[in-house]
Copies of this chain bind each other. A is one copy, B any other.
Amino acid sequence: MFQKIEYVKRRTLLSTTLGSGIILFMGNTESPINFLHNTYHFRQDSTFLYYFGIQQSELAAVVDIDNDKVIVFGDEMSIDDIVWMGRQKTLQEKVYDSGLAEVLPLSALERYIKTAQTKGTTIHFLPPYRAENAIRVADLLGINIHSVSREASIPLIKAVVAQRSLKSEAEIVELNKAAVISADMHLLAMKIARPGMKESEIAAAIHQVALSQGGNIAYPIIFTINGQILHNHYHGNVLKDGDLVLNDSGAETELGYAGDLTRTFPAGKTFSNVQKDIYTIVLNAYHKAVGALRPCTRYLDVHKMACLELAEGLKAIGLMKGDMEEAVQRGAHALFFQCGTGHMMGLDVHDMEDLGEQYVGYSDVLLKNTEQFGLKSLRLGKELEKDYVLTVEPGIYFIPELIDRWHSESKFSEYINYDQVHEYRSFGGIRVEDDFVITADGSAMLGKHLALSIEEVEALRNYSL
């Protein structure tokens, strides 16, 4: 946990922002795998972690602004619990560490809420992303389960987003730690991967690095010779010389902060010339985007710069043609780059995604483009501020099904040389990704330098164990 004062300050700021009412925080419960008592690794809700820091299931908390009270609702362990799970810090002790005094049994929550409701007090709560919490909130507030998300508090969402977006020094230390462990995960992969190995062997080794640091992986590992499949969690292929390997993986620290890095490297010792061409285009887009990071710049514009760089590079090798500014404006480059250049990062790898992308990545004056293919997957568009933490992750992906679909519709044929594109249909995909914090006059990369240039990557690939 962070120091007490950090949690107290966060809650005080939130109370001040909202001004009145009750804020209801739901901690997460255990998630069953295949029966109730066989559960996935427990993950506390990120907003609960942010304001209370307590890693324990079946908690709830109330910040009662009108009565100036903060209460955590939860139960202490019974002797049966101790027999099965061992003596641990008491809930009272954990709550003390997060700067609070009052603890009430979980069963007292319902009466607390009902009493407030009869007085007409507004109960602010966040939209639940877990079904268990949707049921709990519906029961507590007496609303229909399918209305819960709709009735979530917009002022609370906005206040939480405003706070969690600006990372404190302590948080940046933690995010830095996550990025260092993530870099070690990638370093190991680039050192041990060899033709003939199964993707799953290397993915498992990467996973081990995260676990052995006492944390976990921040999201399911993408480790694949089919980098063009964007969310690919299949690990059943065997690496062959000539393949490109895309590794998108990151660590979560003990406190819950995420790292999110991507590298693409040759399964053999060197890139082919064609692979070098595409890799260089992606790398240029990466440097273009990184160079543009600073307060007051819209990330939407950073994204467009990256897209333009990709398009110009693709034009130079004959895959695109015509006016690239216009092509990017209209979305033609999205045949090769179907997603966004980056996203906010923090306690969630896509930070606060469950609170709504419009609130997290856009603003009242900049609405998300939910129509244009490519742009609709850009999670972050608004002006950057000092202490935002985000990713930069351009890529080029040749997706045969998408190429065929667009070609059959002659989509953007004024910008795309389909005949040349077809020669790349089995190329695969390339992405590179690092994590950055926005500083007063630019940005700083989190973690440590991880082989990025063609020379650096090939040097690691020639490393012998």
Which residues in A have some Cβ–Cβ distance to B below 8 Å?
A: 31-41, 43, 45-46, 79, 82-87, 129-132, 134-135, 145, 198, 200-201, 203-205, 207-209, 211-214, 219-220, 226, 228-232, 234-236, 338, 347-350, 352-354, 399, 401-402, 405
**Closest chain B residue, CB of each to CB of A231:** B84
Please, which residues of chain B bring their CB within 8 A of the CB of A352? 35
Shortest beta-carbon distance from A184 to chain B in Å: 13
Cβ–Cβ contact A200 & B211, under 8 A: yes
Residue of B nearest to A351 (CB): B35
Kindly state the separation between the CA atoms of A41 and B38 in the bound complex, as whole angstroms: 14
Please give, as numbers and ranges, the residues of chain B lying within 8 Å of A234 by CB-CB distance: 86
Question: Which interface residue of A83, A226, A348 has the most chain B CB atoms within 10 A?
Answer: A83
Inter-chain CA distance A347–B33, complex, in Å, is: 12
Known contacts A83-B401, A401-B83: A201-B207 contact under CB 8 Å: no
Q: Nearest Cβ distance between residue A126 and chain B, in whole angstroms?
A: 11
Residues of chain B with a CB closer than 8 A to A40's CB:
31, 33, 40-41
Q: Smallest CB–CB gap between A171 and chain B, Å?
A: 16
| Residue contact A212 to B198, C-beta cutoff 8 Å | yes
A38 touches which of B37, B200, B348, B401 (Cβ 8 Å) = B348
Contact B207 A79 (CB under 8 A): no
CA distance in complex: A283, B145 (Å):
52
Contact B86 A229 (CB under 8 A): yes
Q: CB distance B402 to A79 under 8 Å?
A: yes
State the CA gap A85–B373 with chains docked (Å): 16
22 of the cross-chain contacts (CB-CB < 8 Å) are A32-B129, A33-B219, A34-B46, A34-B348, A35-B129, A35-B350, A35-B354, A79-B402, A82-B402, A85-B229, A85-B230, A85-B232, A86-B226, A130-B131, A131-B131, A131-B132, A131-B134, A198-B212, A198-B214, A200-B214, A204-B207, A207-B208
Contacting A83 at CB < 8 Å: which of B45, B135, B230? B230
A63 nearest CB across to chain B (Å): 21
Distance of A345 Cα from B132 Cα, bound (Å): 27
Q: How far is the CA of A132 from the CA of B133 in the complex (A)?
A: 10
Chain B positions within 8 Å of A212 at CB level? 198, 200-201, 204
Contact B46 A354 (CB under 8 A): no
Is the pair A43, B33 in contact by a Cβ cutoff of 8 Å?
A: yes
- Min CB–CB distance A200 → chain B (angstroms): 5
Nearest chain B residue, comparing its CB with the CB of A401: B82
Query: Which one of B36, B84, B198, B338 lies within 8 Å of A129 (CB-CB)?
Result: B36
Q: Are A353 and B36 in contact (CB under 8 A)?
A: yes
- The distance in angstroms between the C-alpha atoms of A230 and B229, with both chains bound, is 42
A32 and B203 in contact (CB under 8 A), knowing A38-B348, A38-B349, A402-B83?
no
- In the assembly, what is the distance between CA of A310 and CA of B145, in Å? 51
